[in-house]
Amino acid sequence: MAEVQIQEGSVSTSGQSLFYREAVPAQSSSSPGPPVLLLHGIRFSSQNWLDLGTLHKLAAAGHRAVAIDLPGLGRSSAAVAPCPLGEPAPASFLQEVLTSLNMAPAVIISPSLSGMYSLPLVLNSPERVAAYIPIAPICTDKFSALDYGRAQVPALIVYGDGDEQLGEISLRNLKNLPNHQVFCMKGAGHACYLDDPNTWHNGLLEFLSNLK
């Protein structure tokens, strides 16, 4: 596995600063994959993707990987969310992040709480999204089947079969994405990637390797 460097920085969106961690392969690949933006759930931060090894795995596979701390969480605790918890955020919020980081179009990995940020982007600005990897996100019920049907982005719908609430609700709604695959992690709960990191990384990298 190629040596991977972790860098830290901040990005501005909606006039506020968000902390991020970035993984960059030590040697640039001749055919790099699309950049990957990693979001997180309410009890988590970019630190989890670092500790889990996901940032390293993505960079070693040739992807620029950036994990941000969402407003009010992690090292972005001073930032204020652009909308109430559980309501869809303006699509412009993540649009600014991607533009500032020069990442569009990017793969978006979005667990749980972060659905309030990722879904408006995917459904309103699909041209900025290379692929979507939702992991039992919230807010899937805030959009119609017609909204989903207009987003032609490749999607890998991830959930643990032990997540009987958000996992099943989000799966039912996200299946309206016309270009989707389903990745059910057996024996895993809501934060399925933490329950079984090896299966998560294998499924993630296989999906990314098959992107056109």
* CATH architecture under which domain 4-209 falls: 3-Layer(aba) Sandwich (3.40)
Instruction: Return d(Cα 104, Cα 127) in angstroms, integer.
Output: 8
Instruction: Return d(Cα 75, Cα 69) in angstroms, integer.
Output: 6
- Report percent pLDDT > 90 for the chain: 88
Instruction: Return d(Cα 46, Cα 81) in angstroms, integer.
Output: 17
Q: What is the mean pLDDT of residues 126-142?
A: 97
What is the pLDDT, as a whole number, of residue 39? 98
Q: Determine contact, residues 40/114, Cβ cutoff 8 Å.
A: yes
Tell me: pLDDT of 4 over 80: yes
Structural domain boundaries of the chain?
Answer: 4-209
Mean pLDDT, the chain, rounded, equals: 94
Q: What pTM does this model have?
A: 0.95
Helix (H) or strand (E) run with residue 88 in it: none
Q: What is the mean pLDDT of residues 140-148?
A: 97
Strand order in the sheet with 180-185: 4-13, 16-25, 65-68, 36-38, 106-111, 129-135, 155-160, 180-185
Tell me: pLDDT of 1 over 50: no
Tell me: pLDDT of 164 over 90: no
Q: Determine contact, residues 117/89, Cβ cutoff 8 Å.
A: yes
Q: What is the mean pLDDT of residues 100-118?
A: 96
Radius of gyration of the chain (CA): 16
Task: Enumerate the H helices of the chain as residue ranges.
Answer: 46-52, 54-60, 91-100, 115-124, 145-149, 166-174, 192-195, 197-209
Could you list the active site residues? 112, 163, 190
Collapsed DSSP state (helix, strand, coil) of residue 7: strand
User: For residue 29, what pLDDT band results from cuts at 50, 70 and 90?
Assistant: low
Q: What is the mean pLDDT of residues 65-82?
A: 94
